[in-house]
Amino acid sequence: MRRAIRSLRACAPAAILCAATACGSSRGGGDDDGVGDGGVFAPDAAIEACAPASAGAFAFAEIATWRDGATAAYSMFHDDMCGPAVYGIQDVAVPLLAQHGIVAGLAPIVEQCELNGLWDVVAAAEAAGHEIVSHSYSHPEISTANAAHEVAEAKAVFDQHVVNPITFFVFPYDYFTPETIAAVSAAGHLGARAGNRDDNDGFEQPPINPATPTNDLALEFDVWPRSYSKYALFFPADMLAVHVHNAIERGGWALREFHSVIADGSDAATQGFGPITASEYDAHLAFLAAAWKKGVLWTGTPSTVLRYRHARTACGASVAGETITFDTSNPDCVKYATPITVVVTTQEDLPRVDATQGGEPVWTRKLGPNRFGVTADPTRGDVALTGCSNPGYEVDPSVALPPKPAPAASVCLIESVAGQGGAGRMDDLERDPAMLQVLPNPSQQDGRTGSWSWYPQAAEVDITPEGDGRVLRYRGTALAAWSGVTLAFLGGNGAGTCYDAGAYTGIRFRIKGSVSSSDTLNGKMVVSVVTAKTQSRLYGGDLMGEGGHFHKVIDVTPGWTTVSIPFAELTRPSWGATTGLSAVAKDALQAIDWGVSNMATSFDVSIDDIELY
């Protein structure tokens, strides 16, 4: 026993990851084998060998919902690894993770790893305890037409370069359909980040996954930077913490999407999508480490947490004498084999309990008086328990975490830009069609940066040639839903920003096309001006509840028409919590929306030369 406990010294000090030989990997030849088990161990220092003492008696209490009896679980992803603009993942993020002893999911793109010769970097990150997850072969939107290459072939290439077969997929652009989720499953992935974040608002409906394994292939998540987060009413640093607090309050599993991590003061515009600074990232990791010490949060790699959700429900455990015996008769116990925490109680309140499985030590931690967590893989056999009179690893309830952040009174207090007037152009669409949603939008003027979005995803939107120039084309058939194409003033619609257009009188644009609808909106569109005061918190506004926007119904004709709409002539909202508003909040503009009825059987509309005047 002395030798076994001493071998825990091989674990990285102050680290959540550890050597599998010391702490028990998740399964032979499977995910995490040989490099750690996805983030459960965080000793601050080596402990002395066990001084045996009588526990009086051991008894089975439960299989913990999360490892070490934590209240919640948390996983981080770093998307786009191997891309030349995101080298901060391996150069900055991975070293900072090691300093705090935290592991993450790293999501490379196969094509970028090959083009930039970075497979050795990927292998080194995996050897450090991180999980390599697939972010496709070349990073397009995944479709049924390209899934064989982008999903299945990507997994095959990854599996040639990593030790642990790929079991998790991250959808590029967060775009997915039921058919592509099925393709990800058929290719051999156990899970995927594909949750529909539009269902969430960061308040009553935060994007937190339940402890029960119900949504492995459509996991909810949140995104850095704040402009893409579901926590738009929180300052950036606060949105990171509040996401974890929400998981703890609900006993669930939170997932966070990052991209690159960059040195403070670096030019973020040159370093990929939405990088986070090293100081912001370091502070977040310190918060996670403190939450682990307090016993309220387990930060683990995505597949490990996913497997845990299944293994703890599929595997059984019992205690007789000084032995934990597992029931692995449920096939899912073997399929999802990973170390699970068996909580045992002792008759005597000892400082510590040690455990071995197959002659090797497994992780133990004191959770409270007479209560200990023993974390072992059920498929590796019985676990022998020993009481100890000297201290071991334990939860520290005295650790103080910062309180849950409160939201700002308005998103305008977080990000607001005031226009100076004159430069009214919002978009003339004169750019490469592939740059439709580029941020910042190069066509915007006077402090505006906003890009396009649309709903539902089944609508088709692109930049198309028209005469000597280009226009936006927006079309769909029998979508059976309210549909719209939206141009934001700042960032993307839902970013929780405010543009002050007090220097302008109204909006102007050119439009042509056709709208066939079985209601009074046949041949018409509803043009809405979205403001922070009329936008629900679900989509980055201040409004608690739902409501309408200031709007105007316009005719859509086959020939081009220039439409000018003064702000003062917009119709007041006609439903919901906004009917009492009397004037457009010009100081809190968020987007312009061109929408068609849910009764539309087809529509094909072109829009161009959008401007403020």
For 245-293, write each residue's pLDDT tens digit.
999 999 999 999 999 999 999 999 899 999 999 999 999 999 999 999 9
Would you say residue 5 has pLDDT above 80? no
pLDDT of 44 reads 57
Compute the half-sphere exposure of residue 190: CA atoms within 13 Å on the CB side of its CA. 20
- Give the distance from CA 603 to its chain's centroid: 34
Among residues 167, 106, 109, which one has the least CA distance to residue 135? 109
pLDDT of 17 reads 34
pLDDT of 198 reads 82
The two structure tokens encoding residue 70: 């934590």
Q: Where is 318: in which H helix or E strand? A: strand 316-320
**pLDDT band at 39, cuts 50/70/90?**
very low
Average pLDDT over residues 152-161: 98
pLDDT of 20 reads 28
* pLDDT tens-digit map of 10-29: 233 233 333 222 333 332 22
> Where is average pLDDT lowest: 35-39, 167-171, 181-185, 555-559?
35-39
Would you say residue 380 has pLDDT above 90? yes
Would you say residue 466 has pLDDT above 80? yes
Domain 411-612: which CATH number of 3.40.720.10, 2.60.120.430, 1.20.80.10, 3.40.50.1820: 2.60.120.430
pLDDT of 34 reads 27
pLDDT of 439 reads 87
**pLDDT band at 43, cuts 50/70/90?**
low
* pLDDT tens-digit map of 352-365: 999 999 999 999 99
Longest dimension (CA), the chain: 89
Residue type, 390: N
User: CATH 2.60.120.430: which residues of the chain?
Assistant: 411-612
**pLDDT band at 423, cuts 50/70/90?**
very high
pLDDT exceeding 90 applies to what percent of the chain?
90
User: In whole angstroms, what is the distance from residue 169 CA to residue 171 CA?
Assistant: 6
pLDDT of 21 reads 26
CB distance 416 to 497 below 8 Å: yes
Would you say residue 222 has pLDDT above 80? yes
pLDDT of 7 reads 27
**pLDDT band at 197, cuts 50/70/90?**
confident
* pLDDT tens-digit map of 485-521: 999 999 999 999 999 999 999 999 999 999 999 999 9
Query: What are the beta bridge partners of residue 108?
Result: 81
CB distance 506 to 613 below 8 Å: yes
The CATH H-level (homologous superfamily) assignment of domain 71-294 is Glycoside hydrolase/deacetylase (3.20.20.370)
Would you say residue 46 has pLDDT above 90? no
Task: Supply the pTM of this predicted model.
Answer: 0.90
Average pLDDT over residues 98-125: 98
- Note every long-range contact of 137-143, with CB atoms under 8 Å and residues 24 or more positions apart, other chains counting: 137/109, 137/110, 137/111, 138/109, 138/110, 138/111, 139/80, 139/109, 139/111, 139/112, 139/172, 140/172, 141/172, 141/173, 141/175, 142/171, 142/172, 142/175, 142/176, 142/180, 142/183, 142/184, 143/177, 143/180
pLDDT of 15 reads 33
> Where is average pLDDT lowest: 43-47, 467-471, 561-565?
43-47
CB distance 485 to 458 below 8 Å: no
pLDDT of 507 reads 98
CB distance 331 to 315 below 8 Å: no
The two structure tokens encoding residue 495: 């970013």
CB count, 10 Å around CB of 270? 9
pLDDT of 45 reads 67
**pLDDT band at 528, cuts 50/70/90?**
very high
Among residues 473, 471, 463, which one has the least CA distance to residue 432? 463
**H-only helix segments in 60-206:** 88, 94-100, 110-115, 119-127, 147, 154-161, 178-186
Summary mean pLDDT of the chain: 92
CB distance 342 to 317 below 8 Å: yes
pLDDT of 12 reads 30
* pLDDT tens-digit map of 292-328: 999 999 999 999 999 999 999 999 999 999 999 999 9
Average pLDDT over residues 445-455: 96
